Amino acid sequence: MTGDRFETVAWVYDAGELALLVSLFEWEEIPILPLGRHHISAQWNIVVALGGVRLRVRADDMPAAQALLAGLERTPRKSVRFFAKDKLVDILLVLLFVFLGGLAVPARIQADFAVARRERSA
């Protein structure tokens, strides 16, 4: 019955990372149990408060799972740049677009026609 014991191998706080890790474990044929995976899809904004999604594997598969995670390349997240390489220029351009997009379109003036109406004759 030692094969029925599960151990936590990782905590995940992002839906994309969860999907990639679950598919990676399935590809390597390591059974995985993601506890709380539905919180990350339904209420992603409170996943950190809930402690993330725990990825659990059988105790027998723990060395293979740790080796798989150790072989992953960690890349730092880059900051988002919209238009320029300078962050200040990006902020100023975004503010300019918001300001210009928020301006109201001039009101259209109804055309005034000087044509007299004809009276209906019965």
CA-atom Rg of the chain in angstroms: 30
- pLDDT tens readout for residues 39-70: 888 888 888 888 889 999 999 999 999 999 99
Residue 83 located in a structural domain: no
Q: How many domains does the chain have?
A: 1
* DSSP strand pairing (53-58 vs 6-12): antiparallel
Residue type, 73: E
> The CATH number of the domain where 7 resides is what?
3.30.70
Taking the whole predicted model, whether its pTM rises above 0.85 is answered as no
Domain holding 11, by residue range, is: 2-70
Q: Is residue 94 a contact partner of residue 34, using CB atoms and an 8 Å limit?
A: no
Cα dihedral 41, 42, 45, 50, rounded to 10, equals: -90
- Residue 1 confidence class, pLDDT cut points 50, 70, 90: very low
